[in-house]
A and B are shown apart, each in its own frame.
Chain A
Amino acid sequence: MKTLKFLIEKEFKQMFRNPLIPKMIVMYPIMVLLLFPWAVSFEIKNIRIDVVDHSKSTYSRRLTDKIEASRYFILNDTPPDYRTAMLNMEHGETDMILEIPSSFDVDLVKNKASGVGMAVNSVNGTQGLLGSNYIMQIVNDLSSELRAELMHTLPPQSRASMIRMPQIDIVPQYKFNPSLDYKNFMIPGFMVLLLTLICGILPALNIVMEKENGTIQQINVTPVNRIHFILAKLIPFWVVGLVVMIISVSAAYLLYGLWPVGSVMAVLFSAIVFILSISGLGLIISNYSETMQQASFLVMFFILILILLGGMFTPVSSMPAWAQLIAVINPFNYLTDTFRMLYLNGSKLADVTGNLLALGVIAIVLNGWAVFSYKKRG
């Protein structure tokens, strides 16, 4: 036990000898939480649209006005032909093109039906789909306005059938995040991201740094057993991670008024289990690496996979089955899910026990591996 105490003291001294580390632990979470949640939004506003109006009639102008008035669109230009509009799109000045045919007006009044054409830049698929849905809504609005206004021009029997048209009102209720605010959803994710970066990179560089500096030889010749050695490496990161968590939770509250509806203790507790597993991964990488460069490539490689397949940015349920299997052993995925449930859904500790158990198993396996892969030889 005494050995462990001295070893931990040594680790802390080594860590804080580098002035960048304490600075990073304090400043980085604040900076990330202050800036980046604002960058996150899938809500599509400001879609730039070109309207090519061949009809130049009352109704086509009304459609253009409706689009201009909508909060989703910015009317970029009204070019005379499709070719010019397409050129605008190629220059990246517009995202959508709406083409109104010259017979738009006549078709509506005479044939009671008309059409418009739409071209959407769909390099970003979601954005393209949503943009075209919004246009369809606006067009449908216009057509029901016209129905109401021009009903008297219709023959009596079709008027009657329109009145009988049954209506189903759809009442949506957005639970847990009624304002559909993306920041609330992403902030718990950013906390996990910070923990992963700080408590993943530092341990990954730790043992290999001792190898490069030669100090590991001294440990190897002292009577320190492997478990003590790894524990002494783990515990400081555990403390660092907790500090990062406390700063992040406070920052989320002070900056965004976001506080875990469930329980703040549950947030900290699940973070502790997570830190153990991610630091364990770091130590394994450190054990297997020969140089710090190797360790840093490897740790970035794994962190990137953990993050991008961990459900922070894109839902795990949208991934193919084999990739969902990776999510089963991905600690990032479990903690992001847990934090979101605790922060937004108001879940209790009991509701997240499944996730915590999984994290615990991952932590035990990884740290067992870390102990096993540390070999006392030169």
Chain B
Amino acid sequence: MKQFIAFVKKEFHHIMRDNRTLLIILGMPVVEILLFGFAINMEVQDIRVAFYDPTPDDFTTGIAERIRQNSYFNYQGKMQSMEEMEESMRKGKLDLAVVFPQKFQESMVHSGKAAVQLLSNSSDPNRGSISVTYASAIIAGFQQEQADLIQIPFRIETENRMIYNPLMKSSYMFVPGIMGLVLMIICTIMTSVSIVREKERGTMEVLLASPLKQGTMIFAKTIPYMVISFIDFIIILLLSYFVLGVPVNGSLLLLFLVAILYITLTLSYGLTVSTLVDKQVNAVIFSATTAMIPVLMLSGMIFPIDNMPMVLQTLSAIVPARWFIEAVRKVMIQGLGITMIWKEMLILIGMILFLLGVTIAKTKKRLE
């Protein structure tokens, strides 16, 4: 035990000596959570719209005026021809074009029917379809006004309640994701690079020759990293709560427990990586390529997992961040208890055991 404590102390000294790295490790999450928490927003805004209206009349100007005044739209002016419209759309200067036919009002009054064409720049499908939806709603509103029907019969009203995130803030969705991503990157690189560095320099062999048991030694090595990562987590949590206004509806203790599990898991992953490679460059490449894109794409941080094809849904099950993010959302935002997240926690524990098993097996082999 005494040896163990001495070893942990040594590792702490090792880390504290390198002020610059420490500053980076603790400063990085601060900048990132603030930057992403405020800046990442899925809401479609600032839709650049233009009108093509060959024969302006009361109706077309009425519709155009309503769209112009809507805060989602950013009016770009009237277009003189369809060619001009196509051109500015191709140049990426226009998101939506509203095209009125000739004699819009006349045909509406006489035949009771008229058509409006909405051309949307759909290279971004989400933006494309949502701008059409917004414009359609405004036109439908105009139509209702014109119909001056006081009572449409057989109406069914829908009363809508948004639970857990009534203001529809993107940060509710992203903050747990950013936690998962930032911790994954920091922890994996931190452990894998520093251990491989000792291998590269040969100091690892010296350590292995010490009377301390191998398992104990690796455990001692990870403790300081665990402390630092947990401080990172606390910093992120404080900023999300006080600065970004993301609630902590569930038990704080449970949240800490989930965080400790996840940190242990990411550190174990770093350990596993360190047994697979023997150069620092490769440790970085390995950690970066396996930690970043899979977490961004398959953790449910940005894209809902339910929508993915089966193959990717299965693949996402081995991405640790997926289970962490799910558990954090449930505890932080939905305020649920341990009975609702035991599955996620068990999966995280299972992954830890698996990775530690692989690490120990690999290390033993190396020594033989």
Contacting residues of chain B (147-164) with chain A, CB-CB under 8 angstroms: 147, 149, 151-164
* Contact indicator A172/B132 (Cβ below 8 Å): yes
Say whether A81 faces chain B, with CB atoms less than 8 Å apart: no
Q: In the assembled complex, which residues on chain B have CB atoms less than 8 Å from the CB atom of A65?
A: none
Say whether B284 faces chain A, with CB atoms less than 8 Å apart: yes
Say whether B121 faces chain A, with CB atoms less than 8 Å apart: yes
* Contact indicator A337/B173 (Cβ below 8 Å): no
Please give the distance in Å from A50's CB to the nearest CB on chain B: 13
Query: A28–B161 Cα gap in the complex (Å)?
Result: 44
Say whether B66 faces chain A, with CB atoms less than 8 Å apart: no
* Contact indicator A143/B154 (Cβ below 8 Å): yes
Q: In the assembled complex, which residues on chain B have CB atoms less than 8 Å from the CB atom of A132?
A: 158, 160, 162
- Quick check: which of A111-119, A234-242, A247-255, A360-368 contacts chain B, the rest being far away? A111-119
Map CB proximity to B onto A106-132 as digits: 1 under 8 Å, 0 otherwise: 001000111111111111111111001
CB closest chain-A residue, reference B284: A296
Query: A46–B310 Cα gap in the complex (Å)?
Result: 13
Say whether B128 faces chain A, with CB atoms less than 8 Å apart: yes
Q: In the assembled complex, which residues on chain A have CB atoms less than 8 Å from the CB atom of B284?
A: 201, 205, 292, 296
* Contact indicator B158/A116 (Cβ below 8 Å): yes
Q: In the assembled complex, which residues on chain A have CB atoms less than 8 Å from the CB atom of B128?
A: 174-175, 177, 180
* Contact indicator B42/A169 (Cβ below 8 Å): no
Say whether B20 faces chain A, with CB atoms less than 8 Å apart: yes
Say whether B90 faces chain A, with CB atoms less than 8 Å apart: yes
- Quick check: which of A215-223, A263-271, A342-350 contacts chain B, the rest being far away? A342-350
Say whether B360 faces chain A, with CB atoms less than 8 Å apart: no
Knowing A172-B120, A201-B288, A297-B189, the reply to whether A181 touches B42 (Cβ < 8 A) is no
| Of B125, B186, B197, B316, most A-chain CB atoms within 10 Å | B125
CB closest chain-B residue, reference A46: B306
Please give the distance in Å from A306's CB to the nearest CB on chain B: 11
Say whether B119 faces chain A, with CB atoms less than 8 Å apart: yes
Query: A136–B157 Cα gap in the complex (Å)?
Result: 9
Knowing A113-B154, A177-B125, A301-B28, the reply to whether A35 touches B312 (Cβ < 8 A) is yes
CB closest chain-B residue, reference A135: B158
* Contact indicator B185/A174 (Cβ below 8 Å): no
A-B residue pairs in contact (CB < 8 Å), sample of 15:
A35-B312, A39-B316, A43-B307, A90-B336, A112-B151, A122-B164, A125-B170, A143-B156, A168-B113, A172-B117, A180-B122, A193-B293, A297-B25, A319-B41, A344-B123
B330's partner among A92, A164, A182 (CB-CB below 8 A) is A92
* Contact indicator B158/A169 (Cβ below 8 Å): no
State the main secondary structure of chain A at its contact with B: helix
Q: How many pairs, one residue from A and one from B, have CB atoms within 8 Å of each other in the complex?
A: 354
* Contact indicator B193/A122 (Cβ below 8 Å): no
Knowing A170-B136, A185-B123, A197-B292, the reply to whether A345 touches B118 (Cβ < 8 A) is no
Interface size, chain B (Cβ < 8 Å): 118
Query: A124–B297 Cα gap in the complex (Å)?
Result: 16
Say whether B303 faces chain A, with CB atoms less than 8 Å apart: yes
B189's partner among A296, A319, A345 (CB-CB below 8 A) is A296
Say whether B114 faces chain A, with CB atoms less than 8 Å apart: yes
- Quick check: which of A1-9, A225-233, A308-316 contacts chain B, the rest being far away? A308-316
Q: In the assembled complex, which residues on chain A have CB atoms less than 8 Å from the CB atom of B193?
A: 292-293, 296
Say whether A30 faces chain B, with CB atoms less than 8 Å apart: no
B280's partner among A133, A180, A292 (CB-CB below 8 A) is A292
B334's partner among A90, A209, A320 (CB-CB below 8 A) is A90
A136's partner among B43, B112, B158, B326 (CB-CB below 8 A) is B158
State the main secondary structure of chain B at its contact with A: helix
Chain A contacts to B: CB under 8 angstroms: 18, 20-21, 24, 28, 32, 35-36, 38-46, 89-92, 108, 112-129, 132-133, 135-136, 139-140, 142-144, 146-147, 150, 154, 158, 161-162, 164-178, 180-182, 184-185, 193, 197, 201, 205, 209, 212, 290-294, 296-298, 300-301, 303-305, 307-309, 313-315, 317-320, 323, 326, 337, 340-341, 344-347, 351
B293's partner among A36, A45, A147, A345 (CB-CB below 8 A) is A36
Query: A59–B163 Cα gap in the complex (Å)?
Result: 27
CB closest chain-B residue, reference A133: B133
* Contact indicator A347/B90 (Cβ below 8 Å): yes
* Contact indicator B146/A166 (Cβ below 8 Å): yes
A-B pairs, 10 with minimum CB distance: A323-B39, A125-B168, A174-B122, A180-B125, A344-B123, A122-B162, A115-B157, A169-B115, A122-B165, A317-B46
* Contact indicator B285/A24 (Cβ below 8 Å): yes
* Contact indicator B297/A91 (Cβ below 8 Å): no
Q: In the assembled complex, which residues on chain A have CB atoms less than 8 Å from the CB atom of B340?
A: 90-92
Contacting residues of chain B (260-316) with chain A, CB-CB under 8 angstroms: 277, 279-282, 284-289, 292-293, 296-298, 302-304, 306-309, 311-312, 315-316
Please give the distance in Å from B93's CB to the nearest CB on chain A: 10
* Contact indicator B197/A293 (Cβ below 8 Å): yes
Knowing A136-B158, A341-B92, the reply to whether A291 touches B24 (Cβ < 8 A) is no
Query: A205–B122 Cα gap in the complex (Å)?
Result: 39
A167's partner among B143, B286, B302 (CB-CB below 8 A) is B143
* Contact indicator B32/A301 (Cβ below 8 Å): yes
Say whether B208 faces chain A, with CB atoms less than 8 Å apart: no
Please give the distance in Å from B179's CB to the nearest CB on chain A: 13
Knowing A170-B136, A171-B116, the reply to whether A113 touches B156 (Cβ < 8 A) is yes
Q: In the assembled complex, which residues on chain B have CB atoms less than 8 Å from the CB atom of A46?
A: 306-307
Say whether B45 faces chain A, with CB atoms less than 8 Å apart: yes
Please give the distance in Å from A169's CB to the nearest CB on chain B: 4
Say whether B166 faces chain A, with CB atoms less than 8 Å apart: yes
